[in-house]
Amino acid sequence: MVSERGLQVLRAIVQDYVETHEPVGSRSIVDRYSFGVSAATIRNDMALLEDEELITAPHTSSGRVPTDKGYRVFVDHLAQLRPLSVAQRTAIESFLTAPTDLDDLMVRTVRVLTQLTGQVALAQYPSFARAHITHLELVALTPNRMLIVLVTDAGGVSQRLTPLPVDVDESDTALLRARLSALITGQAVSDAAERLQNLVAAEDHTTDAALRTIAAVVVEELGEFRQERLVMAGAATLARREQDFRGSIHPILEAIEEQVTLLRLMGEMVTDEHGLGASIGTENEPFGLGEASIVASNYAAPSGMARVGVMGPTRMDYPSNLAAARAVARYLSRMLDEDETAR
């Protein structure tokens, strides 16, 4: 059982190790913190922390460093999140103001978060699986090339240029637009896809070749809406921080490239009552990312909750990174809510 003072010693070790990257000894704790006890007493506290596997001695060093279990206790019970500075809040606002569309907003989100934290920033796109189609636009760029634009009430926009098997004029385009719009506008993404699939299967007249082609393309685009997406920034920070990882960073680079693993991890993270979560070191071994930690905050989108956060070595500034993720998530939620209200 760790005493209250022992927990405060753990806090000191985590904070000093994150700051200096050097093992922390009892003498430095006595010198830097006002515990009012001797170095020998602090050594006893550290011995108890080591017995609980919260700290460990690297090599033959006399100092100690936190274990992943120690970081977990720190995050759950000892970390104190501080509000961002005025300059940091101003940076978030200036970065995220007046995006051109959802893609632009998400890219700006991870860019500002990686600037604030110096870590790889990750953001889940809002889920469009429960979104509804609000608009379908068809633009004939040539008689046999059609631009198809889809818009959802959750902010999703899809544009696809497709060749047509027959030539169409403005009148044909208007009829195609009217027929397809009547079929899917106001429908949930999944329902719209089902309606169009039935249309593609049922229509077999040569005069409907353009209709079938466009409907099939729209079904593909609706499928994209239902897929989870992730946007990232700051992968170059891994090269600068490679020495902070206990092993190879190649699994992390592979996860960044493939995205599927990170989407699963982000989706399965447990968050607290404030929507904040951390997955630390060995907790990520089932995902092949035992060298890394991820901290994240929920944000609200019209279609539900998603997450934004950062990934880096286990030796990270958890309070600052969580505070940055929380602040960016709150601003992102506000931007999406304002966009929804303006629709």
Instruction: Judge whether 176 and 211 are in contact, CB under 8 Å.
Output: yes
Q: How far, in Å, CA of 166 to CA of 301, rounded?
A: 40
| 302-334: pLDDT as tens digits | 777 899 999 999 999 999 999 999 999 999 999
Q: Which domains does the chain have, with CATH numbers?
A: 4-78 (1.10.10.10), 86-127+228-342 (3.30.450.40), 133-226 (3.30.390.60)
CA end-to-end span of the chain? 56
The one-letter amino acid at 149: V
**How many CB atoms within 10 Å of residue 214?**
25
How many helices (H) and strands (E) in the chain? 13, 10
Q: Which of these, 102, 101, 85, lies nearest to 93 by C-alpha position? A: 85
User: How many Cα atoms are found within 13 Å in the side-chain-facing hemisphere of 18?
Assistant: 22
Q: What does the pLDDT look like over 23-36, one tens digit per residue?
A: 999 999 999 988 88
Angle at 338 between CA 333 and CA 340, to 5 degrees: 95
Q: Which residues contact 137 (CB under 8 A, 6 or more apart)?
A: 147, 148, 149, 151, 177
* CB of 145 closer than 8 Å to CB of 162: yes
Q: What is the distance between the alpha carbons of residues 102 and 122, in angstroms, rounded to a whole number? A: 15
* Full DSSP string of 159-207: EEEEE-SS---HHHHHHHHHHHHHHHTTSBHHHHHHHHHHHHHH---GG
Return the number of other C-beta atoms located less than 10 Å from residue 271's C-beta: 14
Predicted pLDDT at 258: 84
Residue 50's pLDDT is: 94
Q: In this structure, how many other beta carbons lie within 10 angstroms of the beta carbon of residue 37?
A: 15
**Which whole-number Å values give the CA distances from 135 to 32, 138, 186, 258, in the listed order?**
62, 10, 8, 32
CA distances to 19, 57, 87 from 64, rounded to whole Å, are 14, 5, 35
CA dihedral 269, 270, 274, 277 (to 10 degrees): -50
Q: What 3-state DSSP class applies to 122? A: strand
pLDDT tens, position by position, 74-133: 999 999 998 999 999 999 999 999 898 888 999 999 999 999 999 999 999 887 767 889
pLDDT band at 70 (very low <50, low <70, confident <90, very high): very high
Place of tokens 């631009």: 147
Which helix (H) or strand (E) is 340 found in, with range? helix 318-342
Give the model confidence (pLDDT) of 43-63 as tens digits.
999 999 999 999 999 876 679
Residue 30 CA to residue 149 CA, distance in Å, equals 65
Q: Please name the helix (run of DSSP H) or strand (run of DSSP E) that holds residue 299, with its range, or none.
A: strand 292-301
Mean pLDDT of 272-286: 95
Q: Which residue has the tokens 């009148």?
A: 171
The overall average pLDDT reported for the chain is: 90
Q: Helices 86-96 and 318-342, interaxial angle, to 10°?
A: 40
Query: What count of other Cβ atoms lies within 10 Å of the Cβ of residue 228?
Result: 16
> Taking 80 as the threshold, does the pLDDT of residue 156 lie above it?
no
Confidence of residue 206 (pLDDT cuts 50, 70, 90): very low
